[in-house]
Amino acid sequence: MTKRSTKQRREGRLAIALCAFCTALQVSDAETSFVAVHDGIPDPALNFSGWKKSNGTLEGSGRGLLLKSSKSIGRWEARIRAKISLTQLDSTAASIVFGGSSHFGFDGSGKKLFVEGPLFSKLTFLEAENPIRGNTPFVLEMVRKDGRISFSIDGTLIYAIKDSGQPLGEIALRPHRATMHVFEFTLEGDLMEPPKLMEGMIDVFNAGGEGYHTFRIPVMTVTKQGTILAFCEGRKSGGGDAGDIDTVLKRSEDGGKTWSPLQVVWDDEGNTSGNPCPVVDQSNGAIWLLLTWNLGSDHEGAIKSGKSKFPRKPFVCKSDDDGKTWSAPAELPFCRKENWRWYATGPVHGIQLERGEHKGRLVIPANQSVFDGGKSDGSTYHSHVLYSDDHGTTWTIGGVHENRTNESTVVELPDGSVMQNMRSYHGKNRRAVATSKDGGLTWSEVTLHAELIEPVCQASILRYSWPEDGRSRILFSNPASKGRDHMTVRVSYDEGKSWPVSRLIYESSSAYSNLTKLPDGRLGLLFERDDYKKISFVPFSIEWLEGKGETP
């Protein structure tokens, strides 16, 4: 008899253990197992970009890094097992991630375990004793069985929830500021291939590339010459909303197939220059870009509470050559009131009105916080619009909405009215909506739309066709769930009253987005995905969106 090596014996024991577990679970025909990491060695199918092999482990650190399994968890019974250790515990929110947006993890500031995301309904800090210690390996397990999903550490049950029976999606390990060492990472049970990317999807901005740590806040428009302009924030030193942030741009002259090198529109040294909101004047082809600025050292909380040196300020710049060059940003001091502290233009495209008394008006959605002299923390938000009736030469504040409305997007209705669709802090996970019959000067009462579910996030709305074009169509994009995932595009045929058609664009982690109509009549969507690692562009036809075509 030939002697087996230590490695062969270990692999044999692992195979026996996996078979025994899967037999006990009695899962569907899809039952299988996937050993993503064993003895610190990743499976060849695993994408471990950003991680390194170190002393029998996979080592990863920093914010935004994920170790994703190349398999997803389906609807049936399954188990996940990860043997890991953590260092730098004070500032971490290290976790195991389900479907891109649900987390079971460890909060370094409070030294407590937590759960959050749509799998768990809300952020909850757990009362169970925290057994995690720095530099000490521990085994984290999730078992899905008998209508329950349970979580344990080193064999001790920590938390359990009722199983909804829905797919759990992609599984990943997240260091999130800590340094994580992964010894073992195994998935067993009902496993599926992760969702495939739509045909034609292109990653326009990738985290860690072109001199920037993270790219966020995607915004897009099409020029009069048919060029697609894709704007976003280039965040140099981290993924947060404050710090050294530039407004950057890429151009596509072939419908999104290829993109130009990155172009910096505004870099104010270490300060924050962002929240792009472009609008094209169809009368002359001028592209106006509204933005905001604040000191890089000032965070949103300090600005809202009046503790920052300056409030956030709106600016504008212009391109007359199809987005190739831009004027120096000029401040718009009359577009903010004295007690406005936080300010955000868009972030989405603006519109030019085509009908009614205010035809030709340029309209920019925006929002601000109101400072009350320190009586509160300044956390209230109000949506409003800016407008120009002289082709962008001057800009004026339009109507301001009630509290708890935030980032917004606007669309024109057939009678020349304007509909504003807003991120909502009403606590109902629904979009806020109001209309104006005077070009954005005054607004109807804000209502919450029952069909437009949101996880409190930015969204995009777009007029695709008018009633006289054969059928009125308004399109809407957002992560249509209670978490930032399931990027979805909807269609309304009755001016936004109902949304009977929807198509899932990307199932996993996804957040901010922008819709535009391409020169060939198709649609384009620019959106954040995979925990802000990528900003991707995907084209598709209206026929595919409405279920009349098999391919985008």
Same domain, 235 and 91: no
Residue 551 belongs to a domain: no
Read off the pTM.
0.73
Beta-bridge partner residues of 343: 368
Q: How many domains does the chain have?
A: 2
Contact 171, 71 (CB under 8 A): yes
Residue 187 belongs to a domain: yes
Same domain, 127 and 270: no
Tell which residue, 98, 76, 106, 159, has the closest CA to residue 151: 159
* Per-residue pLDDT reduced to its tens digit, 302-323: 999 999 999 999 999 999 999 9
Same domain, 101 and 247: no
Place of tokens 């909101």: 277
Count CB atoms within 10 A of the CB of residue 339. 14
Which phi-psi region, left, alpha or beta, contains residue 146 (left: φ > 0; alpha: ψ -120 to 50)? Answer: left
Same domain, 401 and 345: yes
What is the distance between the alpha carbons of residues 21 and 8, in angstroms, rounded to a whole number? 20
With a pLDDT cut of 90, the percent of the chain lying above it is 74
Q: Which of 13-17, 209-213, 284-288 has the lowest mean pLDDT?
A: 13-17
Same domain, 442 and 520: yes
Residue 253 belongs to a domain: yes
Q: Which of 14-28, 115-129, 289-303 has the lowest mean pLDDT?
A: 14-28
Q: What is the CATH number of the domain that holds 504?
A: 2.120.10.10
Count CB atoms within 10 A of the CB of residue 93. 18
Same domain, 306 and 393: yes
Amino acid 19: pLDDT: 39
Amino acid 550: pLDDT: 64
Amino acid 9: pLDDT: 45
Tell which residue, 274, 278, 294, 298, has the closest CA to residue 286: 278
N residues, the chain? 552
Q: Could you tell me which residues come within 8 angstroms of residue 134 by beta carbon, excluding any fewer than 6 positions away?
A: 86, 87, 88, 89
Same domain, 183 and 307: no
* Per-residue pLDDT reduced to its tens digit, 105-118: 998 888 899 998 77
Contact 414, 466 (CB under 8 A): yes
Amino acid 285: pLDDT: 97
What is the distance between the alpha carbons of residues 323 and 318, in angstroms, rounded to a whole number? 8
Same domain, 49 and 131: yes
Same domain, 176 and 92: yes
Q: How confident is the model at residue 199 (pLDDT cuts 50, 70, 90)?
A: confident
Domain boundary (192, 219, 239) is at 192
Contact 265, 251 (CB under 8 A): no
Which residues constitute the domain of residue 237? 202-545
Q: What is the CATH number of the domain that holds 42?
A: 2.60.120.560
Count CB atoms within 10 A of the CB of residue 352. 18
Tell me the torsion sign for CA atoms 266, 269, 270, 271. Answer: negative
pLDDT over 60 (residue 457): yes
Residue 550 belongs to a domain: no
Average pLDDT value for residue range 537-552:
88
Residue 445 belongs to a domain: yes
Same domain, 132 and 16: yes
* Per-residue pLDDT reduced to its tens digit, 80-130: 999 999 998 888 889 999 877 789 999 888 889 999 877 887 789 998 888
Domain boundary (145, 164, 192) is at 192
Average pLDDT value for residue range 337-363:
97
- The rounded mean pLDDT for the chain is 90
With a pLDDT cut of 70, the percent of the chain lying above it is 93
Domain boundary (158, 192, 226) is at 192
Place of tokens 């008899």: 1
What is the distance between the alpha carbons of residues 340 and 338, in angstroms, rounded to a whole number? 6
What is the distance between the alpha carbons of residues 416 and 363, in angstroms, rounded to a whole number? 12
Between 399 and 127, the higher pLDDT residue: 399
Same domain, 304 and 358: yes
Same domain, 186 and 242: no
Residue 43 belongs to a domain: yes
